[in-house]
Amino acid sequence: MKIKLQGLFACAALVAAGPSLAQVSDGPLAHSTTGSTSGGQIQFGPDDALEASFAAARPFLTWKYYFVPASAMVRRSSSDVSTYVGTGCIRATSDFVVSDIQIEDGASMAVLRVYYKDTDASNHVNAYVTSYDAAGGFTDYGPAQSDPAAGYGTAAFTFSPYLVTDNAARSYVFNVRQAGTSTSTAICGVRLFYSIP
C-alpha cells in the first residue's frame, strides 16, 4: 500500500507541475508565443498575421496548430539525405524528408507554413502537404517556398478551398525539400493551421 500511495503522490506532483515544466522556444524566429493558448484561445505571434486573419474572419471555429520540427522528419527515399545542423534544423539536399500528419478527421487545413534558414539566393526550401489514396494516386498542395537570402524565416501557402481531411480514405504527409546543395540553406520545420468541425 505504501508503494501505491507513493506512486499516486508522484503522479499528482507531476500533473500539478506539468504546466511549469513546459518550455516556450525562444529560437531564431520571432514568435515565441505562437501556438500557445490563454484561456483556451490561440495566441498569435508577429509572424502569424495570415493565421490571425483567418481566425478573426471565422471566430466561431476552433483553430489549432500542428507543428513538426525538421529534426523529427525522415527521409522519403532509401538513401541518407539529411544532416542535422542544430536548433532542430536539418539539411536535406538530395530528396524529400517527410512526416505524417495526424489531425482530426474532418479538419480543414487553412495554412501550411515552412520554417527555414536560407542565406543563399540560388537555393530555397519547398514544403508541400501531400494526400495519398492508397491506390497509387496522390495530390500535392503547395508549395510554401522560402525567400532566398532572408536568413531564418518562414513562408506560407494558403489552401483555397480548405483541404478537409478524410482519414478513412486518404493519408496526409508533409513533404519538404531543399533545392540545391548549399550549406547555407536548412529546413527547420513545418506547421499546419487548421480548424476542427
Q: What is the pLDDT of residue 39?
A: 54
When divided into structural domains, the chain yields a total of 1
Q: The domain spanning residue 83 has which CATH number? A: 2.60.120.260
Pairing of strands 138-145, 74-75: unpaired
Torsion angle, alpha carbons of 35, 113, 141, 53, to 10: 70
Q: Is residue 43 part of a domain?
A: no
Which DSSP string corresponds to 47-76?
A: T-HHHHHHHHH-TTSEEEEEEEEGGG-EES
**For residues 155 and 189, what is the distance between their CA atoms, to the nearest angstrom?**
11
**Cell matching residue 29:** 524566429
**Residue 45, amino acid:** G
Q: Is residue 152 part of a domain?
A: yes
Low-confidence ranges of the chain (pLDDT < 70): 1-41, 80, 149
Q: What is the pLDDT of residue 14?
A: 32
Domain limits for position 161 = 62-196
Q: What is the pLDDT of residue 179?
A: 84
Q: Is residue 29 part of a domain?
A: no
**For residues 97 and 73, what is the distance between their CA atoms, to the nearest angstrom?**
6
Q: Is residue 17 part of a domain?
A: no
Q: What is the pLDDT of residue 21?
A: 27
Instruction: Give the largest CA-CA distance in the chain.
Output: 66
What is this structure's pTM? 0.77
DSSP 147: -
**For residues 157 and 164, what is the distance between their CA atoms, to the nearest angstrom?**
15
Q: Is residue 53 part of a domain?
A: no
Digit-coded pLDDT (tens) for 109-133: 999 999 999 888 888 899 999 999 9
Q: Is residue 7 part of a domain?
A: no
Q: What is the pLDDT of residue 127?
A: 97
**Cell matching residue 50:** 495570415
Q: Is residue 103 part of a domain?
A: yes
β partners of residue 82: 92
Is the distance from CB of 114 to CB of 190 less than 8 angstroms?
yes
Q: Is residue 125 part of a domain?
A: yes
Q: Of 26, 28, 50, which Cα lies nearest the Cα of 186?
A: 28
